[in-house]
A = this chain, B = another copy of it.
Amino acid sequence: MKDCKLHYTDSIHYELEQTSRLMKKVTTQLFEKLEIGLSIDEYAALDTVSVNAGICQRDLAKLILKDRANTGRILDSLEQKGFITRFIDTKNNRLVKKMGITERGLKELDTINKKVKQYLESVTKKISDEDIERVQETLKSFRLELEKVVEINI
């Protein structure tokens, strides 16, 4: 049945989407099993805020690649749980909502990282660090190429 043409299930597009989808599933299940009170998206946002203190919402949206609407909603939840604080400030003379992680947020982040670390490592330990790194680098240049082509308006 197979011919020499490149079919969907043989493409890098397929491999990427499937792996990414699976990874998300694994992580979601892990978060549920460990009874972590945050969604993965909330965790990703919290972690990103923790290393980018004073970032504004739109810039965060670009980093976590959600649109502005969803980023705002995720932050609402994190703020309501007391893990971040938001404050009005200016960036290029424009009013923006900046944010920072709270003490409680830092503590929570640390707890989650400790809980999750060994589980996530068990998934990647079968693959050599070199391979992981190489994949990550290639993916990044791939992603940067994609960014040139895609029309995003965040």
Which residues of A are at the interface with B, using a C-beta cutoff of 8 A?
1-2, 5, 7-9, 12-27, 29, 43-44, 47-48, 50-53, 63, 65, 113, 120, 122-124, 126-127, 131-132, 134-136, 138-143, 145-147, 149-152
Copies per assembly: 2
* Closest Cβ neighbor of A128 among chain B residues: B138
Query: Can you report 17 residue pairs joining A to B where beta carbons are below 8 Å apart?
Result: A1-B51, A1-B53, A7-B48, A9-B47, A9-B48, A12-B135, A12-B136, A12-B139, A17-B65, A19-B146, A21-B65, A22-B65, A22-B143, A22-B150, A123-B142, A132-B138, A135-B138
**Cβ contact of A145, chosen from B12, B123, B140, cutoff 8 A:** B123
**Cβ contact of A14, chosen from B12, B44, B53, cutoff 8 A:** B44
* Closest Cβ neighbor of A119 among chain B residues: B149
* SS of A interface (majority): helix
